[in-house]
Amino acid sequence: MAGGSRGGFPAWMTAAAARIDLSGGAAATSGSQPPQPAPPAAVVADQELGMAERALSAASAAFISAIIVNPLDVAKTRLQAQAAGVPYYQAPQMAALGPDAILSELRCSPSCTRGIVLGSEPICPPDCFQYKGTVDVFLKVVRQEGFGRLWRGTNAGLALAIPTVGIYLPCYDIFRNKIEDFTRSNAPGLTPYAPLVAGSVARSLACIACSPIELARTRMQAYKEFQPGVKPPGMWKTLLGVLSPHASSSQNVQNYRVLWTGVGAQLARDVPFSAICWSTLEPIRRKLLGLVAEDGDAASVLGANFAAGFVAGSLAAGVTCPLDVAKTRRQIEKDAQKAMRMTTRQTLVDILRSEGPKGLFTGVGPRVARAGPSVGIVISFYEVVKYALHQRNMS
């Protein structure tokens, strides 16, 4: 463990956590107060890391998180897509079914009392393919499509998470440090708002840069492949499918805008999510670190980061769920012209009129269950990798 900083904070903690004294107040800055001591080792350690090292730390954290929580993302997307009218049942061609020609996607659970036996296996009626909740999605996806389909879109998720978080967390760190330094000298009352502003700006940059991959992942998770033995399209084929209706148009450059379908809804979701998450996470993390400052070890510091991330991520996910529903609706729309005309506001109004307030929170369970651990894993793992890189640089 690296040497301690002011108040006993480990030297590899982020600058934001280390700049708080044990009473919870900001470090002294005004001329009437005692001279400010030399920057804590934690601040120096955090500021010594370059953009590439921060990006590597964040990408490593995102890689672990994306694999662990992907099934919850599939459940959330399936529930939201089902509410939008995406079918998960395809009626069999009865005349083409012989005694040994049972379509695997119509296979029913042996315990289902409503299934009919056709050939050697029971076949379920259409309503048995309706998802009723998170656990029901898991059970039906495993039974009807196989266990591996719970990780459908993981490749796109990794392709999304690594650059997104690789942009997001490093930019957040840098923006927050700069804003805190500026406000402490010029407007101390605005310093507590630094995480909110830094998180919002950093998330906006990440969303715009990676929106096409988010579009591919949402479509990969939302749609079910009905033909037995046919491999569902991957990320690149999905994106080509989005572009294909525009291939014959002469305005090819403008038509690439379709890859950013739903980016407005994504920004409307992710910027408030980030603002809520960071403005909640930082005070909780600082409070928890203050409790273990004197005798805290690596495990307690990681626990504080994970707990703060879990609470902040869960809260932010629940509050922004209606915007996530709107984003999914816009990105699964297969009519390209309609998708380009849709707006987030109109989508929310349509959902409210047709499904009521409950429709705005479709999939809130798996969304919250996914976001809490995901943010906790990313934040705590991010700190570990930053520490490892800092130790390597020191040696």
Report the pLDDT value the prediction gives residue 317, as an integer from 0 to 100.
95
Per-position pLDDT tens, the chain of length 395? 333 433 444 444 444 444 333 233 333 333 444 444 444 444 434 555 666 777 777 777 778 888 888 899 999 999 999 998 888 776 554 444 444 444 444 555 554 555 565 555 556 667 777 888 899 899 888 887 888 888 888 888 787 777 777 788 788 888 999 999 999 999 999 988 898 899 889 889 988 888 888 888 888 888 887 666 677 777 888 888 877 765 555 455 556 777 888 888 889 998 899 889 988 998 998 898 888 765 656 677 788 889 999 999 999 999 999 999 999 999 888 777 777 788 889 999 999 999 999 999 999 999 999 999 999 988 888 777 777 776 777 77
Residue whose tokens read 């459940």: 75
* Residue 75: both structure tokens together: 């459940």
Pairing state of beta strands 121-123 and 116-118?
A: antiparallel
Among 332, 364, 366, residue whose Cα is nearest residue 347: 332
**CB neighbours of residue 23 within 10 Å:** 7
CA distance 32 to 304: 34
Q: What is the pLDDT of residue 144?
A: 77
Give 29's contacts (C-beta < 8 A, 6+ positions apart). 36, 184, 185, 188
For the chain, domains (ranges, CATH) are 41-84+127-242+255-394 (1.50.40.10)
Q: How far apart are the first and last CA of the chain?
A: 13
Asked whether the beta carbons of 179 and 202 are under 8 A apart, the reply is no
Q: What SS3 string covers the chain?
A: CCCECHHHCECCCCHHHHCECCCCCECCCCCCCCCCCCCCHHHHHHHHCCHHHHHHHHHHHHHHHHHHHHHHHHHHHHHHHHHCCCCCCCCCCHHHCCCCCCCHHHECCCCCCCCEEECCEEECCHHHHCCCCHHHHHHHHHHHHCHHHHHCCHHHHHHHHHHHHHHHHHHHHHHHHHHHHHHHHHCHHHHHHHHHHHHHHHHHHHHHHHHHHHHHHHHHHHCCCCCCCCCCCCHHHHHHHHHHHHCCCCCHHHHHHHHHCCHHHHHHHHHHHHHHHHHHHHHHHHHHHHHCCCCCCHHHHHHHHHHHHHHHHHHHHHHCHHHHHHHHHHHCCCCHHHHHHCCHHHHHHHHHHHHCHHHHCCCHHHHHHHHHHHHHHHHHHHHHHHHHHHHHHHC
Name residue 393's amino acid: N
Distance CA 367, CA 313 (A): 10
Contact yes or no for 37/50 (Cβ under 8 A): no
Question: What per-residue confidence (pLDDT) applies to 11?
Answer: 45
* 261 closest CA partner among 178, 355, 177, 335: 335
Quote the pTM value.
0.72
